[in-house]
Amino acid sequence: MKELFGIGNKTVIGMVHCLPLPGTAGFEDNMEKIISQAVQDAKTLEAAGCDALIVENMGDGPFNDTMDIEQSIALAAVSTLVKQAVSIPVGIDAAFNDYKTSLSIAKSIGAEFVRLPVFVDTVNYYNGTIEPCSRDAVLFRKKIHAEHVKILADIQVKHTFMVNPSITIKDSAKQAVSCLADGIIVTGTSIGLETPMEMLRQVKEVVKVPVIAGSGVNANNIKEQLNLADGAIIGSSLKEGGVISNPISLELTKKVIKGLE
């Protein structure tokens, strides 16, 4: 298996979007369905040829920056069964910035990486202000002896607004690397919107870690995006009708992967 995160590797990472977890507004007392859909989605991503996947509590809106304990435990249960069901690397993405839950689950189940959306930027979102977690996350990773777990850090992440808009995308990228991010994720402004090529170019100019396109990658643009980016995270384009709560389509996922040819 190729190195998961490397310069020029064209790593394709599929998203396992969990249905609403316990304690959230959309939860329907259906843990069995939450688990079965997540496991099946993971198997579909692997069968279609994805290099890795991320388990995320996508259905839990409106989001907080951290998870309540009932959410964290449910995400751990789902992630454990997903990890057991596939042989490709697994990552964890908890809430907007719950580095403790993400890293703790990764350490406990043997996951290979985490996604931390607010690593070095101070941002506003619909529920308030989120402070960056880079120092705390890196120290916590060491505390629990999880240094092998890679940190993929978003910069100026989608669905948020920079408190200080004068900070450039290059500044954020360089700061993330200086704070020990193992890879940089660049996104569009919201789910399904393509990551601007110019933003990818600017980030690639100033860092020597993998740069990953984090939104809007589909069958029509994956080749162009990965001619520049070192990897892509794919989610909504793998769902029938682009509906996040739908199961992943094997046909759509294969179509996206085939777009690399």
Burial 115-136 (b: 16+ CB within 10 A, else e): bbbbbbbebebeeeebebbbee
| pLDDT, tens digit, 9 for 90 and up, residues 178-209 | 999 999 999 977 666 789 999 999 999 999 99
Dist. CA 173–CA 246, nearest whole Å: 33
Torsion of CA 50, 202, 237, 68, to 10 degrees: 80
The pLDDT of residue 241: 85
Q: What is the pTM of this model?
A: 0.95
For residue 248, the 8-state DSSP code is: B
Rounded percentage of the chain residues whose pLDDT exceeds 70: 98
Mean pLDDT, to the nearest integer, of 86-112?
A: 97
Dist. CA 120–CA 90, nearest whole Å: 24
Q: Which residue has the higher pLDDT, 241 or 22?
A: 22
The pLDDT of residue 131: 97
The pLDDT of residue 194: 85
Strand spans (E) along the chain: 11-17, 52-56, 90-93, 113-116, 123-125, 128-130, 150-154, 161-162, 183-186, 211-213, 231-234
The pLDDT of residue 242: 83
| pLDDT, tens digit, 9 for 90 and up, residues 36-74 | 999 999 999 999 999 999 999 999 999 999 999 999 999
Count of CB atoms within 10 A of residue 143's CB? 9
The pLDDT of residue 188: 78
Position 50, amino acid: C
| pLDDT, tens digit, 9 for 90 and up, residues 202-259 | 999 999 999 999 988 999 999 999 999 999 999 989 998 889 999 999 999 999 999 9
Mean pLDDT, to the nearest integer, of 5-18?
A: 93
Rounded percentage of the chain residues whose pLDDT exceeds 90: 90
CATH number for the segment(s) 11-258: 3.20.20.70
Dist. CA 13–CA 212, nearest whole Å: 10
Mean pLDDT, to the nearest integer, of 112-137?
A: 97
Is 109 in contact with 90 (CB distance < 8 Å)? Answer: yes
The pLDDT of residue 1: 38
The pLDDT of residue 15: 97
Q: What residue segments make up the domains of the chain, in order of their start?
A: 11-258
